[in-house]
Structure 1
Amino acid sequence: MTGEPALRPDGRQSPAALALQRGVLRHLAALGLVGIPEFGLVSGRRADIAALDAKGEIAIVEIKSCIADFRADRKWPDYRLHCDRLFFAVAPDFPLEILPDAVGILVGDAFGAELVRPAPLHPLPAATRKALLIRLARAGAGRLARLYDPDALGLGEF
């Protein structure tokens, strides 16, 4: 193997969404959270970013790259069942007044993000938290293993 392992883009996100994802992940890291993009939930849905802090609190960030993306999305309320805090992340030109009051707001670009409104805390039940923490740990470890051996069998989807 030569050099460092590289991530392979999955092709689902627009360039605008990928840029926002990068900036939000940088923002979260600066706050001490680790984020996993495109995190699969037991419901079958995918969170744009699932993030974990040092205390075990789980946040989900739903990226909205444009107004049409927001208006077409009816699944975001389901994410509340899988996190302690729910955020929307949008670009600086996004009209914030159309976003629901019950979520936090991050505004960002490819280089970072800023917290505009904190997300309300909705603590997860203990059993749900444990299941999500295990799923997050396995996702992170599985993705790291796949970086080092993309052809490894048995890693499944993370």
Structure 2
Amino acid sequence: MPEDTSQPQLMPGQLLARGVCRHLRQHDFVSVVELTPTSGLRVDVMALGPKGEVWVIECKSSRADFQSDHKWQGYLEWCDRFFWAVDQDFPTELLPDDTGLIIADGYDAEILRMGPETKLAAARRKVMIQKFARHAAIRAQAARDPNAIYDW
């Protein structure tokens, strides 16, 4: 049977993000990928919890991917909890102990260590929830009408 080419081939980090998003739904979190909280930063996964919790998950597919990321600490001020998502073969001893840890693959994930909670200020939370909602709505509209023009 011929291979289905209607779906684009996902990169390793995108597969991790998919598994993370699937797992977070089991915890009543909804998520979006590649959200820009502020100019110059783009998080791999932002998750919104049932009580308005904002989590950021950075997906790292290799040691080199992690070591080349010099922006991750800038994400901390945009979330209540921060996590790394890596596959089971990733050398987790490289990851800071004071961050969350998720082991993932393209199908599911498991939270091994919760990131410490640093509650967002109310004004920042409002901004992030609005960015999340607009990002999700734009993505949903693009899926419904892929030929329309979108300002990403």
Please give the TM-score of this superposition, normalised by the length of structure 1: 0.87
Q: RMSD of the TM alignment (CA)?
A: 1.7
> 2:3 matched to which residue of 1?
none
How many residues matched?
147
Aligned partner letter, 1:105: L
Secondary structure of the structure 1 residue equivalent to 2:116: coil
Q: Is 1:133 matched with 2:129?
A: yes
Give the C-alpha shift of residue 43 in structure 1: 3.0
CA deviations on 1:91-132 (whole Å, 9 max, x unpaired) are 001111110012100001111111111110000011110011
TM-score (norm 2): 0.90
Match of 1:156 in 2: 151
| Partner in structure 2 of residue 73 of structure 1 | 69
Instruction: Compute the displacement of 1:8 (Å).
Output: 7.7
| Alignment partner, residue 19 of structure 1 | 15
* Secondary structure in structure 2 of the residue aligned to 1:110: coil
Question: Equivalent residues in 2 for 1:78-157 (5 A)?
Answer: 78-153=74-149, 155-157=150-152
Counterpart of 1:50 in 2: which secondary structure? Answer: strand
User: Which contiguous aligned blocks of 4+ residues in structure 1 show a shift greater than 3 angstroms?
Assistant: none
Partner of 1:42: 38
Matched, 1:64 2:60: yes
1:44, 1:136 → 2: CA distance? 17
**In the superposition, relative to structure 1, how do residues 85 and 25 fare at CA in structure 2: closer, same or farther (>3 Å)?**
same
Runs of 5+ unmatched residues, structure 1:
1-6
- Counterpart position of 1:4: none
3-state DSSP class of the match of 2:103?
Answer: strand
